[in-house]
Structure 1
């Protein structure tokens, strides 16, 4: 709803009145593209203005949630009162303390539901020692919990966040989530752990018990042992379920060396599924395609067969399916015609569809926008905007990568008027461009000869916090100073140049940039073109104070400007400045000054 905000009241009646009174505004202004994303509307003062602040905002927000959850979970006695009105259960703290202390199956279920792994194992052992039988359903849940968590209690979010805080912001922003996933995967499957011990104590073992252990072994990379457990299941004349086969298909590339051996094992598992009359699911086919990604060149011939089989059994592909297909056929170093056709077919098939997550990989699909196909890029963006498909772009960092590539494609292939339309639509409400994104825009302005927009773009660069990037500042200055424009444009360039000069000021709130010869020369050129002689002379003095040497072209242009304005004293000062630098052009400047200016005897 843009920048409109409802009042905060305990009753919902004033909120309803506010909605009715603002209905006309909301209908006429469905989105304010100049506003920050809705996530930042609660506190405009803290709204991020740069990509780094954008990352820091999300990390801080998540850290705050985790810290609050950590205190609530570890000190539940301080959070027993409920003063909220009206009472909203979903906003109340979760009950994570153990309420049942007696040795019973109900207490075991409570510990399982709260994911207290060690406490659940201890309660299970106490029940066995007391001679109390535990139902098979509860035993299934316990084995699932142990195998899911790797025979250890899940780490508290607060502790994890505290460890993350010790890392640098940039490194933390990119690696926090990945590191957590890798920590889980690298945890070894210990021999004779509690899951195996409880499994071996069972008087009767069914398919569900085997399924829990096999999936846990695959998750924690004990793949050889998982296949051994599957053999034991068959020897006990039990039938596997679809979850067992899905896990084994994922683990197949890890237990075979060559590509052909891996495919033979996959085929063998699929044949056994058919023999046991187990209907494959979406996860089955996605597991096969994921395994094919590690089967080399043969994957390109087998992947279409898998897709045909999916259609034959009536299983609709998910985004993860297409992600695996693209990974098999697409190579970043070489994007051939065949790969382009496959990508176009996929986008055409998905056109107009709204997706929901059916596979953990559905949120990791990365459409390719670097094949320089503008029509395909538009189709992909239309697909993203259908329903809530934008959620599948991933976290804010991945979302920024997508829009950065899309905007880069527009800058390279589209007309500048269309580029500016998208620029106003995406920035800053959806996308914070990085310095490279701004350079792409500057290149598009240069290509279509719309450099008159540079002063406006400079204001946006300042608001986005990129005015401290020296290469970006110099790019803007060089574009403005490269050639003469109309008087109106030149005047706006000169005003912009004086604004840019402020970023080099050492007395401003943050450290100023270091002057370069090109920056000093370009600003001086821009000021000379609009006859701002006083400011141009001040720029020449900065050459001397910063140990920079002006070029001959700049000095000659400055002398011509002195002649146009009738400033002989400034011309003499220019010759003196050149002599102070010991420039070889000094005699030429002196001869011009003597010939073109009416000098006094002292000046001569």
Structure 2
């Protein structure tokens, strides 16, 4: 973002910018991995593995268990299936651990691998989508390769069941996953924590009533205790996520779940808090809990959680991130000191958050509250770089705040220079059409120029009043006359009376009397008045 021309100027461009960053990283990774011969030299000390090409080409071509392990390690799903079938045809039997690994591969492979091996039936998802993955909805297919390999296993242990059950839950075969869990128990095996985690998350999909869903979750937790399986963070997050679909009883159970986490010594993650907030707030209000309660301390705690590791990914897509950062920034503007607000302003904008006009208004209010309107010129530069200088209401609010109070000569000079830059927006610059002049915007800019003793530019603004059929106020004309009196500019005072007469203003006669009484006019000038 060093080049201001490349900086995003609206929310759509900001989203495109974020996506292009990720796309660029993926493209670079693809090029490195598909052309490893160009990246064989390692200049880094110490060695940085992620900067070097991955080993993606197959080296073992003969039919053997080692070749199968190689394909599994490289996530070559189709090649692994072909090699497994060739081993069976050759009469060789892979080790039990190898069977487990290939089943684990099935539970974690990508959409492209699924489609290429016809593992799933692919259906078009109707309605609005936001992610690339939303283009397709995956469904578990009967008698697929995973089930075939599982049925061919000479011995089935907990890891084999775990891989298959996780794959079933991941791809929508919830009832079949519970059936497979029953089969595991019938074979006198004990489930692992991964099985319980996915079954808990699938509980709302196999029960219709809210109380039945919770009863199933509670039953699974009791079975965990009976089988002496210790829960982990994902277990509790699965419970909280499932509670989001359990109706009114979720509020009580969510708090009890947090208490249980504390009792077993497991700290909640950002996802845990997200699920809890979702239980107590509707989807449109989840990120506004701290804002509604004006709880700045809680807001900072949530932000600290976001900054830990990769917790920021839990915020969701760019739209959800924008909502979160917008509300966090609003809370800061309302409750925090202006110096702290400005610190966060520089941290968040525009690298993490592209502000909308309302966020900028919140910043104006914070500046006004702490009497720091002298910073408005710097904020105006940001408004221009962000592309919000085409919002008439926002521009007029900037002008109104700058023109409202009296400031030191240095500040007034800075505000006047800023006002002239705002004027260029109304005139139209950078090949864009200008904004429509209003009486208030003309008045504010003229007042700012007068306060900085820029009489010539202020007089030019009065000519724009006439050109745009806008009528200046009596107060503005009196201010202009006061500047003329201070400068001893008699001719400008006469011109002001003539301009007032051209507008047919009621105050023209009073203005003329003041000029005649207070200025040393020539006979010609007196005739003009």
Does TM, scored on the shorter chain, surpass 0.5?
yes
The partner residue of 1:525 within 437, 444, 447 is 447
Contact 1:249 1:288 in 2 (8 A): yes
The partner residue of 1:140 within 92, 100, 105 is 100
- Please provide the CA RMSD for this pair: 3.9
Shift of the alpha carbon at 1:118?
Answer: 1.2
* 1:574 matched residue in structure 2: 499
Q: Helix, strand or coil for the counterpart of 2:428? A: coil
**CA distance in 2: counterparts of 1:151 and 1:493, whole angstroms:** 57
* 1:446 pairs with 2:446: no
* 1:112 matched residue in structure 2: 72
* 2:470 matched residue in structure 1: 549
For the structure 1 residues 541 and 250, does the alpha-carbon distance in structure 2 shift closer, same or farther, using more than 3 Å as the test? Answer: same
Q: Helix, strand or coil for the counterpart of 1:588? A: coil
* 1:82 matched residue in structure 2: 40
Shift of the alpha carbon at 1:404?
Answer: 4.3
Pairing of 1:388-427 with structure 2 (within 5 A) = 389=308, 391-394=310-313, 404-416=326-338, 419-420=341-342
Q: Helix, strand or coil for the counterpart of 2:113? A: coil
Shift of the alpha carbon at 1:258?
Answer: 0.9
* 1:4 matched residue in structure 2: none
The partner residue of 1:100 within 60, 84, 104 is 60
* 1:179 pairs with 2:131: yes
Q: Helix, strand or coil for the counterpart of 2:211? A: helix
**CA distance in 1: counterparts of 2:456 and 2:354, whole angstroms:** 38
Contact 1:474 1:519 in 2 (8 A): yes
**CA distance in 2: counterparts of 1:513 and 1:481, whole angstroms:** 19
User: Residue deviations 1:530-577, cap 9 Å, x none?
Assistant: 4433212222333454x4523444664477458634225422541465
The partner residue of 2:109 within 146, 149, 153 is 149
For the structure 1 residues 323 and 378, does the alpha-carbon distance in structure 2 shift closer, same or farther, using more than 3 Å as the test? Answer: closer
Shift of the alpha carbon at 1:110?
Answer: 1.3
**CA distance in 2: counterparts of 1:310 and 1:142, whole angstroms:** 34
Task: Specify which structure has the bigger relative contact order, considering alpha-carbon pairs within 8 angstroms and separated by 6 or more residues.
Answer: 1
The partner residue of 2:506 within 588, 594, 599 is 588
* 1:343 matched residue in structure 2: none
Pairing of 1:25-104 with structure 2 (within 5 A) = 48=7, 56-73=16-33, 75-76=34-35, 79=37, 82-85=40-43, 88=47, 90=49, 91-104=51-64
* 2:204 matched residue in structure 1: 253
User: Residue deviations 1:285-344, cap 9 Å, x none?
Assistant: 222222122111212222343344445555454443343333334457889xxxxxxxxx
The partner residue of 1:508 within 423, 430, 444 is 430
Pairing of 1:154-165 with structure 2 (within 5 A) = none
Contact 1:516 1:548 in 2 (8 A): no
* 2:121 matched residue in structure 1: none
Q: Helix, strand or coil for the counterpart of 2:293? A: coil
Shift of the alpha carbon at 1:369?
Answer: 4.7
* 2:230 matched residue in structure 1: 279
* 1:207 pairs with 2:125: no
For the structure 1 residues 548 and 390, does the alpha-carbon distance in structure 2 shift closer, same or farther, using more than 3 Å as the test? Answer: farther
Contact 1:372 1:409 in 2 (8 A): yes
Shift of the alpha carbon at 1:462?
Answer: 4.5
* 2:519 matched residue in structure 1: none
Contact 1:445 1:451 in 2 (8 A): yes
**CA distance in 1: counterparts of 2:61 and 2:151, whole angstroms:** 27
For the structure 1 residues 420 and 331, does the alpha-carbon distance in structure 2 shift closer, same or farther, using more than 3 Å as the test? Answer: same
**CA distance in 1: counterparts of 2:226 and 2:76, whole angstroms:** 39
Contact 2:500 2:508 in 1 (8 A): yes
For the structure 1 residues 493 and 150, does the alpha-carbon distance in structure 2 shift closer, same or farther, using more than 3 Å as the test? Answer: closer
**CA distance in 2: counterparts of 1:284 and 1:217, whole angstroms:** 18
User: Residue deviations 1:461-494, cap 9 Å, x none?
Assistant: 4465544443332111011223444555444432
Greater mean deviation of Cα atoms: 296-305 or 243-252: 296-305
Contact 1:563 1:596 in 2 (8 A): no
Shift of the alpha carbon at 1:259?
Answer: 0.6
For the structure 1 residues 450 and 390, does the alpha-carbon distance in structure 2 shift closer, same or farther, using more than 3 Å as the test? Answer: farther
* 1:474 pairs with 2:396: yes
**CA distance in 1: counterparts of 2:106 and 2:284, whole angstroms:** 43
For the structure 1 residues 552 and 514, does the alpha-carbon distance in structure 2 shift closer, same or farther, using more than 3 Å as the test? Answer: closer
**CA distance in 2: counterparts of 1:227 and 1:577, whole angstroms:** 87
* 1:347 matched residue in structure 2: none
Unmatched 5+ stretches in structure 2 = 117-128, 517-523
Shift of the alpha carbon at 1:246?
Answer: 1.4
For the structure 1 residues 431 and 212, does the alpha-carbon distance in structure 2 shift closer, same or farther, using more than 3 Å as the test? Answer: closer
**CA distance in 2: counterparts of 1:416 and 1:595, whole angstroms:** 48
Shift of the alpha carbon at 1:119?
Answer: 1.4
